[in-house]
A = this chain, B = another copy of it.
Amino acid sequence: MEAQLEHYFDRLWPICRSLTGDGNRETLRILSEIVDLRVHEVPCGTKCLDWTVPPEWNIRKAWIRDSCGRKIVDFDDNNLHVVGYSEPVHTSLSFDELCLHLHSLPDQPDVIPYLTSYYNRRWGFCLTHTQLECLDKHATYEIYIDSTLDDSGSMTVGEAFIQGATDREILFTTYICHPSLANNELSGPLVTSFIYRHLADRQDLRFSYRFLFVPETIGSVYMLSQKGEAWKRNLEAGFVVTCVGDAGPFTYKKSRRGDAAVDKVSLAVLEQTESKYNVVEFAPFGSDERQYCSPGFDLPVGSLMRTMYAKYPEYHTSADNKSFMSFEAMAGTVRKYVEIVGVLEKNKKYVSRLPFCEPQLGKRGLYPTLGGQKDQVKAIESIMWLFNLADGRHDLVDISQRSKVSLIKLSDTLSVLLHKGLLVAGNE
């Protein structure tokens, strides 16, 4: 999986993505090789809740030339050099006039910042502070941005769906609106695609799985305007997949509810499998959980990340690039999500068919026949706990937490007891 992740990373990296535009279409076309994507075009100007889909933005060229005609800043070098959604411009400006349109980070002088201006018309360039300081304060500069903002265009969203035994859904949503930025965001679509691949061929899924590849904020607002009410009824769990590409420890950001199944299962899996990880309480900042966890929807959507947005200096700069990625860790993130899905699938409340006193395990071949031995307990502890707590009120995570027996060990024993018909799922 690591090689595949890297292959797709390299192909997707140079594309200039934004809320809209051909870069997004190209991104989804490439991801279609991995995911069975349905692609929608949402017309610009579409109202969704408090928002409106903005004009479609496309950009071909952009540069600043000095008086000698040399391109001193060039979009072809790095697509972060242009403020996202910059309007077209072709003019000459003095240094002082130009400065109003330049953005750099004085305290990180060697990186290009990432900026956008989706809903206010302006234009601008981003550059390293070192570049900025080399400019001649008495010179005149030629500015060129060959972009279009088209009210008759559209916003492109991608969606995939795996039908399970029930219509109750688990959602993975990721975004495709950042240009060449690695952890936040390219790791997100990549990991989401490979989660899809792990689940697509399974025949035993209880839940249905939905995967969204949409621009941040406006894309999620649009999806919620379409499906929010249905999700209030049938969303079992959801994840915003972002910042999942570096080698840092996992970070789980809780849903607004804080104790939804998505929180309970994710945290139990992390606790039992990771020696170090971070837990972050919900806050209405960050990514699309802002929309999913708005008070009118309040959906059970959390986010399992590696190093979280705004918590690393490379965030939203040109330094968030391939060198910050670990494809091994990225594959580990995919596996961790799949492990969490495995527990979500099994995390039912069970009922014992033999609830009155202990079952006689010996006659069912589940118990050492020679009584009194001091190490007997260890061998049968998962059996005993499952029988004792299969009362229709404890789900698998509850049983694991109360018994301190691992989810993995309980799952194995559970399969045996379900197969023998000694336990049944409480809601079946």
How would residues 357 to 375 of chain A score, 1 for a CB under 8 Å from any chain B CB and 0 otherwise?
1111011000001111110
How would residues 247 to 274 of chain A score, 1 for a CB under 8 Å from any chain B CB and 0 otherwise?
0000000001000000000000000000
A9 within 8 A of partner (CB): no
> With contacts A374-B315, A385-B284, A388-B293 known, is A120 near B358, CB below 8 A?
no
A277 within 8 A of partner (CB): no
Contact check: which of B113, B362, B372 meets A120 at CB < 8 Å?
B362
A228 within 8 A of partner (CB): yes
Copy number in the complex reads: 3
Which of A31-39, A64-72, A330-338, A348-356 is the contact stretch?
A: A348-356
| A152 → B minimal CB distance (Å) | 21
- Of chain B, the residue at the smallest CB distance from A383 is B284
**CA distance in complex: A113, B359 (Å):** 26
Interface size class of A (residues with CB under 8 A): 35 or more
A316 within 8 A of partner (CB): yes
> With contacts A50-B358, A316-B372 known, is A285 near B384, CB below 8 A?
yes
Indicate if the CB atoms of A294 and B370 lie closer than 8 Å. no
- Of chain B, the residue at the smallest CB distance from A220 is B357
A114 within 8 A of partner (CB): yes
**CA distance in complex: A390, B295 (Å):** 7
A224 within 8 A of partner (CB): yes
**CA distance in complex: A377, B119 (Å):** 18
**CA distance in complex: A373, B105 (Å):** 10
A398 within 8 A of partner (CB): no
- Can you list 8 A-B contacts with CB-CB less than 8 angstroms, sorted by A residue number? A113-B372, A116-B370, A117-B371, A221-B358, A256-B388, A285-B384, A294-B356, A298-B391
